[in-house]
Amino acid sequence: MTPRITRLAAAFAAVMALAQGTAPAQQAGAPGAAPTETPAAAPALLTLDDVRTGRLMLRTDEPGKYVPAPLVSTKIDMQITGTVARATVTQRFTNPTEEWVEGIYAFPLPEDSAVDTLRMRIGDRFIEGEIKERQEAKEIYEAAKAEGKKAALVEQERPNLFTNSVANIGPGEVIVTQIAFQQSLAPKDGRWEVRMPLVVAPRYNPSPVVQVVEFLQDGWGVTDPVPDRDRIEPPVADPRAEPAGQMRNPVQIDIDLAPGFDIATLESPSHEITVAEPGPGRARIALAGPAPADRDFLLRWAGSGAEPQAALFAEEKDGQAHMLLMLTAPELGEARPVRPREVIFVQDVSGSMSGESIEQAREGLEMAVKRLRPEDAFNIVIFNDQFAVFHDAPVPASPENIAAAVTAVRALEAEGGTEMLPALDYALSGAPAGDRLRQVIFLTDGAVGNEAQMLALIDEKLGETRLFTVGIGSAPNSYFMSRAAEKGRGAHVYIGDLSEVAERMTALFTKIETPAITDLELRLPEGVTAEVLPSPLPDLYAGEPLAVALRGPEIAGEAVLSGMRGAQPWQVRLPLDRAAERAGVAKLYARRRIASLEALRLSPAVEVSGMERLDREILDTALGYGLVSRLTSLVAVDVTPSRPRGTGLASAEVPLNLPKGWDPEAFLFETPEAAPQLDRAMLQRIAPQRTQAEAEAAGAPVPKGALNWRQSLLLGLLLMVTGLFTLVVTRLRRVRRPQVRAITVTAADSGRA
Amino acid sequence: MSRGPLRRAGQLAGAGLMAAGLVLAAEAAYLPAKAKVGQWLLEAAWAETLETGRPARPWSWADVAPAARLSAPALGAAAVVLASASGEAMAWGPGHVPGTAPLGTPGLAAVAGHRDTHLAFLAKLRPGDLLALETPGGGVQRYRVTRALVVDSREWRFPVALEGPRRLALATCWPFDGDEDGPMRFVLFAEEIAAPETPAA
């Protein structure tokens, strides 16, 4: 419809035609899909990148590949008090083998969670983790492993993905792991929400993907003539599918909710729940029954509108006061439209968006486009592993342009890889015409692995542009979405369900169209010195919460939070003496400090020496507050070496030795169904662990080193020669019947060979 | 009885066999072709890696990155080694075995590859032969082959050594002309030549 699109379409078609020629390479290059290497009967192994739910992975004879252990059950207990949530995740596994094995348990957590506790019951032993520098923890763990001791190690892989390695699990032993963390909550658009990730969305790891993109005459559409699409998608093993029917992962959730105000509405858009209300302002929420862990758990609640707009909690630790301030942006009169805007929509149409996600996106995008005013300008960028633009430059939001855009949006389909970087780079480059306010609205599920690169790009290119993210789908990568909006000085919203599109997009428009409170500054009382996080304070959009963490030797008096709302000054007075004591505040401060140091570390301006300094600060903070981070891990080692089952001395006494503060009930909860079993093929792949480790046996296994193509090639050539011979012979006019029969028999024979 | 139907049957069988053979041969020939093409692209990526100091992707959607370049100068054989020894990565080039020392650092670094493509040249190496290993940060290191083992992968593991002299372990399937997946592996050990043979200028 525009020259630009046509050119792009032509370029796309050429690239894709080339790519199509290499289609077999795609299949073989995709992990586990090489047709000659992986017979259908072979067990499907997982890599850590395939992990989508919390589960124990057993090492196999192939490096980096794991067999998921049968997960018996998961239980999540959460206490929510005001703005602080503390959760304990307890999971039971069994070692299904006759061997001593090492397992790796990988689990997703909310991205701002402060993990501080690891407890395990392995067979008949209980151990509790200690926080150590990552390398040191690893060494302690490896040493214990070599000595045949039971040991556990919790490491952070990404801010929202953790792994727990467990060494020396005995044959048939039951393992119960308990991980505790806390997170802070804040209301958004008048309602509160807690999200417990039960699924890690599969990430796009740029592996060979073929697609053909075709642009339609009426705008742009993406169609897919590749018939074997599901064979060449980035392969993500569905844990529930392997081995067949045995990988169900039932979850029980119990939440004790005390929000600090009367609860007016309470709902879970993701799961069926039962609610008991023991008193006013308090609720106990449980899942209506054990549910499979195939989507994130979401709970939302709201007050009647009279609930407080601010909260202040404090905790003292090591002679330092820690505070957590939560404030929602006030609604000040009628929202006045801001300056004319130039809006660049960036729409993810990669494979991970297919299905309901793209429907949500289409609807959301259409609403957003129709909402533009005639004085605004806009453009649309779509991307998978290519990107295309609607127009060369932003066009006025005239009725014709909007109608054309809507037609194009309705034709969007999702497929292919996710190369966000070029699209985002394009969207962030370029200056608006005139006095327009430039806003980039990014609709995606964020299923990518190169978050750091993206965030660095936003830092570098943002300028006066503001970036808003719209998270789509049942398991968006919320770490990336919220960090991108924070770095982009915008805001983010989630759409979890088609029925929510209108409501969530309206919330986004309110933020975008009303002036934000800018130039926020917290003035501390005279004589008080304290660290204020985040620094600088972000712009505050309508309905968005502001969460500030403070730390200092003594924090008292009245602080003043001030800023500009459009051209109008805005101010809030905060009597800091009135803070309520709340356990966990110090750890939440530390988590925020680590997050802000990590963010600094990513900014392009930081030199190597600066990175080392930041790393030291991150390390000190994590060790000081006992948190798992990129640089610190929790490690637990059993004091006595393991021994063969049955020769134990005091297994019956163990319950009496339950450490203080442990909830025995939590370790003994009922499993809703019988333990699933692994099939034989999977069992054979698990690498046994030598507890009496010989030096040579402890190391890395030797991978298979042969493609075995020669025999197949020879056989193929032989078949061709035989076939050719048959053809030639049968074409001879004077061929005699007996000869023909003889040759046919030969052919049949070699066909069987 | 006429010869017509028989001839037709023979032609059909012949055509069928040709087609089946073609598919089988193409599929088989595709593996070494991919191994070859992969190495061409990886050589280019390797040159770029050396130039920029950052791992370069051999093609835009690649999930493999070159980690080192291994060569046996006497044989004129070379291969770009990848950072991963997963089955997918090893289709493109030999890979560094995780859990062993990083390539070019003190201790034992292991590389696994296919006996019938990239690491076929291992069969021709004898104790005393020279190997060269080029890494992005470490320049070119020279190694001398010390010994070789045939091991059972169900029992044997690469020893863990993260310090001490720089050593290499190169592994493929065994036997070299085998055509089936077996548990046996060929492991060739080499040790760095401490003093450079050619004095530094």
Which string of DSSP letters, residue by residue, matches A67-85?
EEPPEEEEEEEEEEETTEE
Cβ burial B7-39 (10 Å sphere, 16+ → b, else e): beebbebbeebbebbeebbebbebbbebbeebb
Task: Round to whole Å and give the CA distance between A64 and A49.
Answer: 10
Residue A161's pLDDT is: 75
3-state secondary structure of B144: strand
In the structure encoding, which two tokens stand for residue A681, read together?
A: 């093929």
Q: Is the pLDDT of residue A332 over 80?
A: no
Residue A45's pLDDT is: 60
CB within 8 Å: A417 and B61 = yes
Percent of chain A with pLDDT over 90: 9
- Contact (Cβ atoms closer than 8 angstroms) between residue A113 and residue A100: no
Which string of DSSP letters, residue by residue, matches A35-63?
TTTS-TTSPPPB-GGG--SSEEEEEBSST
CB within 8 Å: A703 and B85 = yes
Task: Round to whole Å and give the CA distance between A730 and A734.
Answer: 9
Min CA distance, B197 vs chain A (Å)? 32
Cβ burial A702-735 (10 Å sphere, 16+ → b, else e): bbbbbbbbbebbebbbbbbebbebbbebbeeeeb
Task: Round to whole Å and give the CA distance between A87 and A266.
Answer: 19
Among the four given CATH numbers 3.20.140.10, 2.40.260.10, 3.40.630.30, 2.60.40.1180, the one describing domain B28-192: 2.40.260.10
Q: Is the pLDDT of residue A533 over 80?
A: yes
Min CA distance, B74 vs chain A (Å)? 23
Give the CA radius of gyration of chain B.
Answer: 21
The CATH number of A314-329+517-625 is: 2.60.40
CB within 8 Å: B88 and A32 = yes
> Minimal Cα distance from B1: which residue of A?
A737
From chain A, pick out residues whose CB is under 8 angstroms from the CB of B151: 702
Task: Round to whole Å and give the CA distance between B161 and A187.
Answer: 53
In the structure encoding, which two tokens stand for residue A401, read together?
A: 């342009």
Residue A557's pLDDT is: 85
Sign of CA dihedral A168, A172, A174, A179: positive
**Which CATH fold topology does A341-513 show?**
Rossmann fold (3.40.50)
Task: Round to whole Å and give the CA distance between A546 and A556.
Answer: 20
Nearest to A349 by CA among A361, A339, A337, A340: A361
- Contact (Cβ atoms closer than 8 angstroms) between residue B21 and residue A717: yes
In the structure encoding, which two tokens stand for residue A677, read together?
A: 């079993």
Amino acid at A424: L
Nearest to A438 by CA among A426, A453, A428, A448: A428
Residue A627's pLDDT is: 92
Whole-angstrom CA distances from A548 to A328, A564, A596 are 11, 18, 12
Burial zone of A258 (CB within 10 Å; 0-12 exposed, 13-18 middle, 19+ buried): middle
In the structure encoding, which two tokens stand for residue A580, read together?
A: 């309520």
Residue A66's pLDDT is: 65
Min CA distance, A725 vs chain B (Å)? 7
CB within 8 Å: A709 and B32 = yes
Hey, which residues 331-390 in chain A have their CB within 8 Å of chain B?
385
- Number of Cβ within 10 Å of residue A624's Cβ equals 15
**Which DSSP symbol is given to A706?**
-
Residue A632's pLDDT is: 92
Q: Is the pLDDT of residue A206 over 80?
A: no
From chain B, pick out residues whose CB is under 8 angstroms from the CB of A737: 3, 6
**Which DSSP symbol is given to B62?**
-
- Contact (Cβ atoms closer than 8 angstroms) between residue A291 and residue A271: yes
Q: Is A730 on the interface with B (CB under 8 A)?
A: yes
Average pLDDT, chain B: 82
pLDDT tens-digit readout, B22-57? 988 888 888 888 888 888 888 888 888 888 777 777
Question: Where do the structural domains in chain A lie, given as residue ranges?
Answer: 3-38+205-232, 314-329+517-625, 341-513, 711-752
Strands (E), A71-134: 71-81, 84-94, 101-108, 114-122, 125-128, 130-133
Of A37, A724, A740, the CB nearest to B6: A740
Residue A673's pLDDT is: 39
Residue A618's pLDDT is: 92
Residue A529's pLDDT is: 86
CB within 8 Å: A720 and B21 = yes
Query: If you search the block for the tokens 């029980």, which residue do you land on?
Result: A252
pLDDT tens-digit readout, A489-529? 888 888 877 777 778 888 888 778 777 787 888 888 888 88
pLDDT tens-digit readout, A345-374? 999 888 777 777 888 888 888 988 988 888
Lowest mean pLDDT among A245-254, A369-378, A420-429, B85-94: A245-254
Of A36, A702, A731, the CB nearest to B158: A702
Min CA distance, B127 vs chain A (Å)? 21
From chain A, pick out residues whose CB is under 8 angstroms from the CB of B88: 29-32, 34, 207
> Minimal Cα distance from B93: which residue of A?
A705
This prediction's pTM: 0.56
Instruction: Report which of residues A574 and A447 the model is more confident about.
Output: A574
Contacts of B116 (CB under 8 A, 6+ apart): A706, A707, A708, A709, A710, B32
From chain A, pick out residues whose CB is under 8 angstroms from the CB of B117: 707
- Counting every residue written for chain A, the total comes to 753
Lowest mean pLDDT among A61-75, A444-458, A555-569, B54-68: A61-75
Q: Is A62 on the interface with B (CB under 8 A)?
A: yes
Q: How are beta strands A282-287 and A250-258 bridged, if at all?
A: antiparallel
Phi and psi dihedrals of A132, rounded to 5? -140, 160
Average pLDDT, chain A: 71
Phi and psi dihedrals of A108, rounded to 5? -90, 150
Instruction: Report which of residues A588 and A1 the model is more confident about.
Output: A588
- Contact (Cβ atoms closer than 8 angstroms) between residue A211 and residue A416: yes
Q: Is the pLDDT of residue A223 over 50?
A: no
Question: Where do the structural domains in chain B lie, given as residue ranges?
Answer: 28-192
Q: How far is CA B46 from the centre of its chain?
A: 15
pLDDT tens-digit readout, A687-745? 555 433 333 335 677 787 777 788 888 888 898 888 888 888 877 655 455 444 444 44
From chain B, pick out residues whose CB is under 8 angstroms from the CB of A712: 24-25, 27-28
Nearest to B66 by CA among B96, B36, B37, B91: B96
Of A36, A205, A698, the CB nearest to B157: A698
Average pLDDT value for residue range A425-451: 81
Average pLDDT value for residue range A88-97: 73
CB within 8 Å: A702 and B153 = yes
3-state secondary structure of B155: coil
From chain B, pick out residues whose CB is under 8 angstroms from the CB of A719: 17-18, 20-21, 24-25
Q: Is A15 on the interface with B (CB under 8 A)?
A: no
Hey, which residues 242-301 in chain A have their CB within 8 Å of chain B?
none
Q: Is A727 on the interface with B (CB under 8 A)?
A: yes
From chain A, pick out residues whose CB is under 8 angstroms from the CB of B114: 705-707
- Contact (Cβ atoms closer than 8 angstroms) between residue A413 and residue A317: no
Burial zone of A217 (CB within 10 Å; 0-12 exposed, 13-18 middle, 19+ buried): exposed
CB within 8 Å: A702 and B112 = yes
If residue B30 lies in a helix (H) or strand (E), which one and from where to where? helix B4-52
From chain A, pick out residues whose CB is under 8 angstroms from the CB of B30: 24-25, 28
Q: Is B96 on the interface with A (CB under 8 A)?
A: no
Q: Is B181 on the interface with A (CB under 8 A)?
A: yes
**Which DSSP symbol is given to A674?**
P
Q: Is B151 on the interface with A (CB under 8 A)?
A: yes
From chain A, pick out residues whose CB is under 8 angstroms from the CB of B96: none
- Contact (Cβ atoms closer than 8 angstroms) between residue A558 and residue A525: yes
CB within 8 Å: A716 and B28 = yes
Q: Is B36 on the interface with A (CB under 8 A)?
A: no
- Number of Cβ within 10 Å of residue A620's Cβ equals 13
Residue A732's pLDDT is: 63
From chain B, pick out residues whose CB is under 8 angstroms from the CB of A206: 57, 60-63
Instruction: Report which of residues A228 and A43 the model is more confident about.
Output: A43
If residue A614 lies in a helix (H) or strand (E), which one and from where to where? helix A608-625
In the structure encoding, which two tokens stand for residue A545, read together?
A: 């919460």
CB within 8 Å: B3 and A704 = no
Give the CA radius of gyration of chain A.
Answer: 29
Residue of B88, B117, B156 to mutate for A, most A C-beta atoms under 10 A: B88
pLDDT tens-digit readout, A626-635? 999 989 999 9
Min CA distance, B73 vs chain A (Å)? 22
Task: Round to whole Å and give the CA distance between A522 and A711.
Answer: 74
Phi and psi dihedrals of A422, rounded to 5? -60, -40
